[in-house]
Amino acid sequence: MKKKFQVVGIGNAMVDILSHVEDGFLAANGVEKGIMQLIDMARAVDLYGHMGPAQEISGGSAANTIAGIAALGGRTAYVGKVRDDQLGMIFAHDLRAQGATYQTPLAAKDHEHETGRCMVLVTPDGERSLNTYLGVSEFLGPDDIDPAMMAQAEWLYLEGYRFDGPDSKAAFAKAIDAARAAGGRVSLTLSDPFCVERHRDDFREMIRNHIDLLFCNEHEMAAMYPGETLDRSMRDAAAEIDIVVCTASEKGAYVLNGGGLEHAHAVPTQIVDATGAGDLFASGFLFGLVHGYDTLTCARMGNVAAAEVISHIGARPEADLMELFHEHGLV
């Protein structure tokens, strides 16, 4: 029987606040380039006060992935927490308007935290440095997980970032149990090398016991499976996981899926804003997977979707991804 959802994503719900800065701004404001830093509200206010004019676009890593699959016509749902405030309404609108189901209970108006936001500082080289105030997204807990929805998922897509929160591991466990009991499969993205450092043991336990498909980039792979070469790390990972996918920026993406190492070349593009590259890669890959494509084609779809999202500001797709798949002979 066809399940209602092809992919259900769980992650940190947030709105991105994007601004162009020079590299000197990062140094002057203590921002480490190219990674995600968690910040508290006071730091968020301070950093925002120093930033230039910005624009707001819905973000959140897994939410971007789900939006990308929805934009391709995939059947998707998303779980992540926003508050009953203006940024929360924007986040919910953008996801639903893209065609995804989004029903996570809102945090109340009087919650001490607001909807999460990520200050995305884009340097002239297109690299993005993320400064995340998690807000209420951190408080996603088991009560927010609807087992019936999880049971309707062909694939879960779990965001590693979401491990940063008091009840999140219990929420993930509940989601995984409900999905697997109904025959669903589970994918995880490691999100960020520092996220791996923070949660290595928990990630390892989850990967060994529950994960069918792992997404990561080279840095996250090296943090999770230290090895002399990427090939070595990937084989170590593949000993524990059915499908291992590692993106490598301009070198494209590598897949291990039982056979030899597969490689999909990156799609050349002008990098305007790298935000969302990994997220949209996962959109393309998962879209291919749930439609029965081989994993090399899935990786190519991922590369096309990633190339689209880095060619403009913001981490949600703007062009017609399916048309791009056609142009690249993938569908």
Regarding 193 and contact with its own copies (CB under 8 A), the answer is no
Please list the residues that pair with 189 across neighbouring strands: 159, 215
Query: Exposed/middle/buried for 156, CB within 10 Å: 0-12, 13-18, 19+?
Result: buried
How far apart are CB 239 and its own copies at their closest, in Å? 40
Count how many Cα atoms sit within 13 Å of the Cα of residue 35 in the half-sphere of its side chain. 15
**Rg of the chain taking only CA atoms, in angstroms:** 18
Question: What values do phi and psi take at 173, rounded to 5?
Answer: -60, -45
Regarding 52 and contact with its own copies (CB under 8 A), the answer is yes
Q: Which two tokens stand for residue 141?
A: 């807990």
Q: Which of 64, 98, 104, 257 binds its own copies (CB under 8 A)?
A: 98
Regarding 94 and contact with its own copies (CB under 8 A), the answer is yes
Regarding 46 and contact with its own copies (CB under 8 A), the answer is no
Selected range binding its own copies among 45-53, 136-144, 240-248, 285-293, rule: CB under 8 A: 45-53
How far apart are CB 13 and its own copies at their closest, in Å? 14
Selected range binding its own copies among 91-99, 173-181, 188-196, 253-261, rule: CB under 8 A: 91-99
Give the residue with the Cβ less far from its own copies, 197 or 320: 320
Which alpha helices (H) appear in 51-167, and where do they start and end?
61-71, 86-97, 147-151
Regarding 84 and contact with its own copies (CB under 8 A), the answer is no
Regarding 114 and contact with its own copies (CB under 8 A), the answer is yes
Instruction: Give the sign of the dihedral formed by CA 143, CA 149, CA 155, CA 161.
Output: negative
Longest dimension (CA), the chain: 57
Regarding 49 and contact with its own copies (CB under 8 A), the answer is yes
Selected range binding its own copies among 4-12, 26-34, 48-56, 244-252, rule: CB under 8 A: 48-56
Q: Which of 24, 53, 259, 292 binds its own copies (CB under 8 A)?
A: 53
Q: Which two tokens stand for residue 288?
A: 């291919």
Regarding 93 and contact with its own copies (CB under 8 A), the answer is yes
Q: How many helices (H) and strands (E) does the chain have?
A: 12, 14
Question: What values do phi and psi take at 89, rounded to 5?
Answer: -65, -40
Q: 3-class secondary structure for 32-53?
A: CCCCEEECCHHHHHHHHHHCCC
How far apart are CB 157 and its own copies at their closest, in Å? 19
Give the residue with the Cβ less far from its own copies, 87 or 255: 87
Please list the residues that pair with 89 across neighbouring strands: none
Q: Which of 67, 82, 149, 196 binds its own copies (CB under 8 A)?
A: 67
Q: Which of 23, 46, 84, 85 binds its own copies (CB under 8 A)?
A: 85
What residue ranges bind its own copies (CB under 8 A)? 20, 48-49, 51-58, 67, 85-87, 90, 93-95, 97-98, 114-115, 314, 316, 318
